[in-house]
Structure 1
Amino acid sequence: MSRARLTWNGDAALRGTREGAARGLRLAAEHILENARARVPIEEGTLERSGVASVDEQTLTAAVSFDQPYAVRQHEDMSLRHDAGRTAKYLEAPMTEQAGTVAEIIAAQVRRSLRG
C-alpha cells in the first residue's frame, strides 16, 4: 500500500490569485487607456495626457479616467467634430471592443500566479 501526503496552502494560493488578478486588472486598464488615448479628441494633447489607469487592489476594481473639465462633454456630445480617427465615446468604445482582450489579460495573470 502506498501513501501520499498532500499539503494544501490555501491562504498562499488565494493570496497569489488575488495578486494575479490585481496585476491583470492593472495591465487590462493600461490596455484600455492606450486604446482610448488613440481616439481621444486632440487639439493640444491636454486631454490625451490627462488619461490615467488605476486599480484598487482591495476591491479588485480598475478605472480609466480623463481628468479635464471638458472630458465628459467631449466623450458624450456626438455632435462635436473631431479630427480623423478621433471621436466621442473615446473611452466607451474601447471598453466594449476590447472586453474579450481584457478578460484574456486578467485570466493570463491569474493563471501565471497559480503556476508560481
Structure 2
Amino acid sequence: MPQYTSFNFDGTRQWNSRGRRLQSQGLRAGLEYVLGLSNSRVPLEEGTLERSGKVDVDGLEGSISYDTVYARRQHEELTWKHLPGRMAKYLEKSMNESREIILQMMAVPLRRWLRG
C-alpha cells in the first residue's frame, strides 16, 4: 500500500471553471515542490523509493505518494539509521514545512489571471 499525504484546498468562494483549473495547476506546482523536498530527505540506498514518488491532482485535491512495499515502514520507523540528510518522516516533515509555500504557489496562477 502506498504511503501518501493529501492536501485539500477548501475555499469558501465559488470559483468558475478557469479559476478552479488555475488553482489546480498551482496545487500541482506546490505538491511537486514538496515532492522535490521530500525526495531530498527520503532514505536512500538504491534510489528505488525516491523514484517511486509521484504527485496526483484531481481538481482541488492532490496527493503525494511513494509506491514501494516498504515506503510506509521507511517513513514511520524512527529507530533506523540513515545517511546524513536522509530521515524517517521525510514526507510528513516536508509537507508540514511547506504548507504556506503551497498556498502561495496556488495563488500565483490566479494573481496572473486577475492582472490579465
Both proteins in one fold, TM over 0.5 = yes
User: 1:47–1:71: 8 Å Cα contact kept in structure 2?
Assistant: yes
User: 1:41–1:83: 8 Å Cα contact kept in structure 2?
Assistant: yes
| AA at the equivalent of 2:61 | T
Identity of aligned residues (%): 44
Gaps of 5+ in 2: 1-14
2:11 maps to 1:16: no
| AA at the equivalent of 2:100 | G
**TM-score relative to the length of structure 1:** 0.83
Q: Which residue does 2:50 correspond to in 1?
A: 48
**TM-score relative to the length of structure 2:** 0.83
Q: Which residue does 1:10 correspond to in 2?
A: none
Shift of 1:19: 1.1
Q: How many residues align?
A: 102
More strand per residue: 2
Q: Distance in 2 between matches of 1:15 and 1:112?
A: 16
Gaps of 5+ in 1: 1-12
Counterparts of 1:1-116 in structure 2 under 5 Å?
14-57=16-59, 60-116=60-116
Q: Which residue does 2:4 correspond to in 1?
A: none
User: 1:17–1:114: 8 Å Cα contact kept in structure 2?
Assistant: no
Q: CA-atom RMSD, angstroms?
A: 1.2
Shift of 1:15: 1.7
